[in-house]
Amino acid sequence: MLAGANIIYGLGMLEMGMTISYSQLLMDAEMAEMMLFSMDGIVVNDETLSVEVIREVGPRSDFLSHMNTYENMHIQSKPKLIDRLTRDRWNEAGGLDMEARALAAAKELLATWKPEPLSDEARARVRAVVNAAERDYGVPESEK
């Protein structure tokens, strides 16, 4: 991506694209999201460099315990499936690997997703394409 590629292909695909995995799709989407974030570049200004905090804290002091560090620590990466817990905390949280978390998230999405209905204009355009195809291929009215 950083070398200039501008397409992400095959998310969720297994077995050379013959199989689609919902959990793989969510894992791949998370990776793609992080790649796309990196392509936006790094904003460098007084705010992102925390210039005021550097002045406030001063040399040889503790920046890690400063509230600014806490407030900004998640700017770069906001994973939903990648787990960065220590092994003890990971085990305490159930010890689910990334694939198991992705599968649970996929099942939740499938159970709760409510797609937005197409607009009347979009619905009419889709219907026109279907009608034209049916006409071109001679689909009888009884099969519609």
pLDDT at 41: 81
pLDDT band per the 50, 70, 90 thresholds, residue 1? low
pLDDT at 97: 95
Encode pLDDT of 19-56 as tens digits: 999 999 999 999 998 888 888 888 899 998 999 999 99
Residue ranges of domains in the chain: 13-41+83-139
Encode pLDDT of 7-16 as tens digits: 888 999 999 9
Length of the chain: 144
At residue 144, does pLDDT exceed 70? no
